Amino acid sequence: MVKTKAEKGNIENTLRKISIKRETPKSAFILLVLLYAIAYYMVIASSRSQATVNLFGVTLEVSAFTGVFASLSNICIICLVLLFRRVGFIFSLGLLLFQFPGMLSNIIRLQNYRNIPGVFSNLLVMIAITVIYIGNRRITLYQNSIRDQAVTDRLTGLPNRFACGELMQDLIKASQKFALVTVDVNNFKSINDTMGHDTGDNVLREIANRWRTLADSKKTGTSDFVGRFSADEFYLVISGTDSSEAYKRTIEAYKDELERKITVDDCDYYLTACFSYTICPDDSDVIENLFLFADSALHEVKKKGSGSRILRFTHNVLNSERDLELERKIRAALNRNKLLFNLQPQFDMDHKLRGFEALARLKDDDGSFISPVEFIPVAEKTGLIDRIDLSVFENAAAFLSSLPNADKHDFLLSINVSVRHLMKNNFMEEMRRVVSETNFPPQRIEIEITESIMIDSAEKALWRIDEIKKMGMQIAIDDFGTGFSSLSYLNSIPSDLLKIDKAFIDKMDENDSSKQYVSMIISLGHILNLKVISEGVESQKQVDELKAIGCDYIQGYVWGRPLPPDDVAKLVDSIDS
């Protein structure tokens, strides 16, 4: 797959950022070279010395230490190759080769045969570091290919969601204005259903090729970055202009390109799509909000039916009457301590209980439940989320502590914590209070945070996460894959678990590229030393597939739905006895 220059640049930039964090500091290089020089000098000095030293009452010749210094110098050489790869290898090889003329001249001209072992030792070290370097290089190439996959969509070769987040972050840092456009192809599902997934995939590839070519041609007059989120959802990041009209014209150009007849496998298709966009910094300069705004606008424009449409985000999209009603209901439940919780079990791949995720439940006036997917976003907007998080945590921890044999249990309690709650100044105080009041051990608490945390206020978040870890609690990264998560940030969070979002698990049944994506996330998690849990697993087939690609834990209807406290008590009781 040919990548445009712009894409290549951005993808490589993304990858470079991840690896930069893993590079050993230059000071270590200087230190190793210095240590090597000292050890090498000591080899020569000790081998020529006639002196003796007294060590623990034993008299030894200084020349007896030559071997020790030689080993030390070899260790420095090996560390250089291991830590500094190519540069370390070339430098070390140079150092070793540089010594040969002197040694050979000593042997041949001065007939000093004591140098012969040194020549062999140098040769052996050269062979050893060559073997280490080649082995290391193969590992590096493998890691690079995984990192490459991490920012590239397998099916179309376009940059994926990670790359999008990374690019936007760069633009925000450079104070450049841009538009984030999300695109949803209309009725794409019907192509998959009637013509099969292979044809569907070919159509997606054709769309990707057309848009890639357009972005590359620079015909639009703006700087366009095109990528794919998932399935039939694409995105555009348009920069290089300050004019709202120019953004609109560019989007029109992509729309026209899509609407031209597409012929795949001898069939003609006429496609349309919905485009929604939000402008940074006019609407917001927080990446999380930009995604939310573009998605809300897309949701709004899709409601209007088929045909191509373009909608610019406005704040009206966010505030509906339903939101006000929900806000009232949440307040009432919190004030009357009527906010409920469920616990959903998590298992390891051998079906052994790992722990429970606490999920908020809100009962409507008629006794039915309102979905958290509806009320949590409203609670986030109105600032009620802190109280929800805390109420769920308090009640769930108190409940688990009240179970018979509670002190013998070792399963975890995972709680969801929203970004704004986590950032509150008294967050740690609240956590300590609940822990002491409920007597629930902090080592068995896992805090679930979403990846977006790191984008808003990375430094404060990292500091807070450190405090959480110091208190003994664990960190899970929730809904992994759905965000625009910057991989370099992910690398810097000291987390314990990655939770792969249900959306990706669902798609595993649809096509191979989704399976590969999940497999890639699992490898990525393992590279970063994290355990990985898959959420929303509904079938045994998915369990088997996840097991085969190395997933560590499962959470989903297949092995357990979210349960009310009474059912949890029964489940735990059955395990205890």
Q: Which residues bind ligand C2E (CB under 6 A)?
A: 344, 359-360, 371-373, 376, 385, 388-389, 392, 416, 418, 478-479, 502, 535-538, 555-557, 562
Contact 464, 417 (CB under 8 A): no
CA 522 to CA 516: how far, in whole Å?
Answer: 10
User: From the CB of 371, what's the least distance to ligand C2E, in Å?
Assistant: 5
Q: Does 288 bind Ca ion (CB under 5 A)?
A: no
* Nearest distance from C-beta of residue 285 to ligand C2E, angstroms: 24
Residue 556 interacts, among ligand C2E, Ca ion, none and using kind-specific CB cut-offs from 5 to 8 Å, with ligand C2E
Task: Give the range of 280-288, 427-435, 471-479, 517-525 binding Ca ion by CB under 5 A.
Answer: 471-479
Nearer to ligand C2E, 93 or 563 (CB): 563
- In the complex, the smallest distance separating the C-beta of residue 500 from Ca ion, rounded to whole angstroms, is 8
451 interacts with Ca ion by CB under 5 A? no
In the complex with ligand C2E, the residue whose CB is nearer, 344 or 495, is 344
Query: What is the closest distance, in whole angstroms, from the C-beta atom of residue 418 to ligand C2E in the complex?
Result: 4
Tokens of 238: 């348009």
Among all chains, which residue has been given the structure tokens 């958290």?
Answer: 372
One DSSP character per residue, 51-110 reads -EEEETTEEEEGGGGHHHHHHHHHHHHHHHHHHHHHHHHHHHHHHHHHHHHHHHHHHHTS
224 binding partner (options Ca ion, ligand C2E, none; Cβ < 5 to 8 Å by kind): none
CB-CB neighbours of 94 under 10 Å: 9
**Beta carbons within 10 angstroms of residue 189's beta carbon:** 12
Q: Within positions 497 to 536, which residues make up the interface with Ca ion, using CB under 5 A?
A: 535
Cβ-based nearer residue to ligand C2E, 200 or 536? 536
Distance (Å) of CA 94 to CA 77, 89, 99, 151 = 11, 8, 9, 37
C-alpha distances out from residue 130 to 165, 265, 416, Å: 39, 51, 49
Is there binding between residue 416 and Ca ion (CB under 5 A)? yes
Find out whether 185 and 308 touch, Cβ atoms under 8 Å: no
Please choose, from the candidates 401, 360, 438, the residue with its C-alpha nearest in 3D space to the C-alpha of residue 572.
401
Nearest to 230 by CA among 514, 546, 484, 508: 514
Residue 392 binding result from Ca ion, ligand C2E, none, given CB thresholds of 5 to 8 Å by partner type: ligand C2E
Please choose which of ligand C2E, Ca ion, none residue 159 contacts, taking the beta carbon within 5 to 8 angstroms, the exact cut-off set by kind.
none
* Region near Ca ion per CB under 5 A, out of 49-57, 86-94, 380-388, 409-417: 409-417
Contacts of 445 (CB under 8 A, 6+ apart): 397, 412, 413, 414, 415, 435, 473, 474
Nearer to ligand C2E, 82 or 571 (CB): 571
Residues written for the chain: 577
Output 77 or 508, the one with its CB closest to ligand C2E: 508
Cα-based distances in Å from 372 to 209, 379, 485: 39, 10, 23
Site stretch for Ca ion (CB under 5 A), options 72-80, 87-95, 132-140, 477-485:
477-485
For position 485 contacting Ca ion by CB under 5 A, the verdict is no
| CB 187, CB 203: distance < 8 Å | no
Binding site partner of 371, from ligand C2E, Ca ion, none, Cβ cut-off 5-8 A by kind? ligand C2E
CB of 391 to Ca ion, least distance (A): 16
Give the pair of three-digit tokens for residue 277.
């966009």
Is residue 552 near Ca ion by the rule CB under 5 A?
no
Single out the segment in contact with Ca ion by CB under 5 A; choices: 101-109, 346-354, 479-487, 546-554: 479-487
Binding status of residue 389 toward Ca ion by CB under 5 A: no
The nearest distance, CB 414 to Ca ion, in angstroms, is 7
Neighbours of 202 (CB within 10 A): 18
- Residue number with CB closer to ligand C2E (389 or 446): 389
Amino acid at site 490:
L
> Which residue's CB is nearer to Ca ion, number 280 or number 537?
537
Closest alpha carbon to 81 in 139, 120, 121: 139
Nearest approach, Cβ of residue 555 and Ca ion (Å): 8
User: Closer to ligand C2E at the Cβ: 482 or 511?
Assistant: 482
Closest CB to Ca ion among 136 and 555? 555
Site residues (CB under 5 A) for Ca ion?
A: 416, 448, 478-479, 535
